[in-house]
Amino acid sequence: MSRPRIDASHDPALRSWVEEAQGDAQFPIQNLPYGIFSPPGEPARAGVAIGERILDLRAAAAAGLLPQDAAPALRGDSLNALFALEPAVRAALRLSLSRLLSDEAGAPALRPGLHRAEACALHLPMRIGDYTDFYTGIHHAENVGRLFRPDRPLLANYKHLPIGYHGRASSVRASGEPVRRPHGQWLAVDAAAPQFGPSRRLDYELELGVWIGRGNRLGEPVPLAEAHAHIAGLCLLNDWSARDLQSWEYQPLGPFLGKSFLTTVSPWVVSAEALAPFAIAAPARPAGDPALLPYLDDPGDRALGGYAIELQVALRTARMRRDGARAQTLARTAASRMYWTVAQMIAHHTSNGCNLQPGDLLGSGTVSGPGEDECGSLLERSRGGLQPLRLDNGESRSFLEDGDELCLTATAQAPGWVSIGFGECRGLVVEAHDLA
Amino acid sequence: MSRPRIDASHDPALRSWVEEAQGDAQFPIQNLPYGIFSPPGEPARAGVAIGERILDLRAAAAAGLLPQDAAPALRGDSLNALFALEPAVRAALRLSLSRLLSDEAGAPALRPGLHRAEACALHLPMRIGDYTDFYTGIHHAENVGRLFRPDRPLLANYKHLPIGYHGRASSVRASGEPVRRPHGQWLAVDAAAPQFGPSRRLDYELELGVWIGRGNRLGEPVPLAEAHAHIAGLCLLNDWSARDLQSWEYQPLGPFLGKSFLTTVSPWVVSAEALAPFAIAAPARPAGDPALLPYLDDPGDRALGGYAIELQVALRTARMRRDGARAQTLARTAASRMYWTVAQMIAHHTSNGCNLQPGDLLGSGTVSGPGEDECGSLLERSRGGLQPLRLDNGESRSFLEDGDELCLTATAQAPGWVSIGFGECRGLVVEAHDLA
Do A171 and B257 count as a contact with CB atoms less than 8 A apart?
no
C-alpha distance from residue A55 to each of A48, A49, B13, B127 (Å): 5, 6, 66, 33
Q: Is B298 within 8 Å of chain A by CB?
A: no
Nearest to A256 by CA among B105, B164, B183: B164
ipTM of predicted assembly, 2 dp: 0.97
State yes or no: pLDDT of B1 exceeds 60: no
Distance CA A208, CA A215 (A): 20
Residue B234: half-sphere exposure toward Cβ, Cα within 13 Å: 30
State yes or no: pLDDT of B23 exceeds 70: no
- Calculate the average pLDDT of chain B: 95
Do A218 and B171 count as a contact with CB atoms less than 8 A apart?
yes
Q: Hey, of B256, B293, B295, B433, which one would you mutate to test binding to chain A, going by the most A CBs within 10 A of its CB? A: B256
Q: Hey, of A135, A142, A155, A166, which one would you mutate to test binding to chain B, going by the most B CBs within 10 A of its CB? A: A166
Do A293 and B254 count as a contact with CB atoms less than 8 A apart?
no
B167: which chain A residues are within 8 Å (Cβ-Cβ)?
A: 166
Nearest to B84 by CA among B272, B274, B212, B209: B212
pLDDT at res. B100: 97
What is the pLDDT confidence band of residue B282, given thresholds at 50, 70 and 90? confident
pLDDT at res. A436: 63
DSSP one-letter code for B423: -
pLDDT per residue as tens digits for the range B90-146: 999 999 999 999 999 989 999 999 999 999 999 999 999 999 999 999 999 999 999
H/E stretch holding A249:
helix A243-249
Report the catalytic residues of A: 140
pTM above 0.90, yes or no: yes
pLDDT at res. A19: 77
Nearest CA in chain A to B153: A252
What is the number of residues in chain A?
A: 436
Longest dimension (CA), chain B: 73
Query: Which A-chain residues 355-394 have CB contacts (< 8 A) with chain B?
Result: 355-357, 360
Distance CA B290, CA B160 (A): 7
Do A183 and B245 count as a contact with CB atoms less than 8 A apart?
no
Q: Is A97 helix (H, G, I), strand (E, B) or coil?
A: helix
Do B354 and A193 count as a contact with CB atoms less than 8 A apart?
no
In terms of C-beta density within 10 A (0-12 exposed, 13-18 middle, 19 or more buried), how is residue A150 classed? exposed
Q: Is A354 within 8 Å of chain B by CB?
A: yes
State yes or no: pLDDT of A365 exceeds 90: yes
What is the pLDDT confidence band of residue A184, given thresholds at 50, 70 and 90? very high
Instruction: Out of B185, B245, B295, name the one closest to residue A196 (CB).
Output: B295
Put residue A60 in one of left, alpha, beta given phi > 0 → left and psi -120 to 50 → alpha.
Answer: alpha
pLDDT per residue as tens digits for the range B348-407: 999 999 999 999 999 999 999 999 999 999 999 999 999 999 999 999 999 999 999 999
Distance CA B234, CA B210 (A): 5
Query: Which A-chain residues 106-135 have CB contacts (< 8 A) with chain B?
Result: 129-130, 133, 135
Instruction: Out of B167, B196, B253, name the one closest to residue A135 (CB).
Output: B253
What is the pLDDT confidence band of residue B152, given thresholds at 50, 70 and 90? confident
pLDDT at res. B388: 97
State yes or no: pLDDT of B20 exceeds 80: no
Nearest CA in chain A to B187: A157
pLDDT per residue as tens digits for the range A137-175: 999 999 999 987 888 899 999 999 999 999 999 999 999
Query: Which A-chain residues 171-210 have CB contacts (< 8 A) with chain B?
Result: 171, 173, 180, 182-185, 187, 193-196
Percent of chain B residues past pLDDT 90, beyond the cut: 91
Instruction: Out of A129, A257, A433, name the one closest to residue B169 (CB).
Output: A129
State yes or no: pLDDT of A1 exceeds 60: no
State yes or no: pLDDT of A234 exceeds 70: yes
B170: which chain A residues are within 8 Å (Cβ-Cβ)?
A: 129-130, 218, 354-357, 360
Do A353 and B180 count as a contact with CB atoms less than 8 A apart?
yes
Nearest CA in chain A to B353: A261
pLDDT at res. A270: 98
pLDDT at res. B74: 97
What is the pLDDT confidence band of residue B300, given thresholds at 50, 70 and 90? confident
Longest dimension (CA), chain A: 73
Do A242 and B352 count as a contact with CB atoms less than 8 A apart?
yes
Q: Is A157 within 8 Å of chain B by CB?
A: yes
Nearest CA in chain A to B216: A170
pLDDT per residue as tens digits for the range A292-335: 999 999 887 777 889 999 999 999 999 999 999 999 999 999 99
- Calculate the average pLDDT of chain A: 95
State yes or no: pLDDT of B149 exceeds 90: no
Do A262 and B218 count as a contact with CB atoms less than 8 A apart?
yes
Q: Is B250 within 8 Å of chain A by CB?
A: yes
Nearest to A392 by CA among A323, A332, A339, A291: A323
Contact between B74 and B48 (Cβ < 8 Å): no
pLDDT at res. A200: 97
Question: According to DSSP H, which parts of A103-176 are helical?
Answer: 107-110, 138-148
Put residue B359 in one of left, alpha, beta given phi > 0 → left and psi -120 to 50 → alpha.
Answer: left
pLDDT per residue as tens digits for the range A240-298: 999 999 999 999 999 999 999 999 999 999 999 999 999 998 877 888 999 999 999 98
Do B253 and A254 count as a contact with CB atoms less than 8 A apart?
yes
State yes or no: pLDDT of B283 exceeds 80: no
Q: Is B346 within 8 Å of chain A by CB?
A: no
Percent of chain A residues past pLDDT 90, beyond the cut: 91
Distance CA B173, CA B109 (A): 33
Percent of chain B residues past pLDDT 70, beyond the cut: 99
Do B218 and A185 count as a contact with CB atoms less than 8 A apart?
no
Q: Is A68 within 8 Å of chain B by CB?
A: no
Contact between A304 and A267 (Cβ < 8 Å): no
Q: Is A252 within 8 Å of chain B by CB?
A: yes
A207: which chain B residues are within 8 Å (Cβ-Cβ)?
A: none
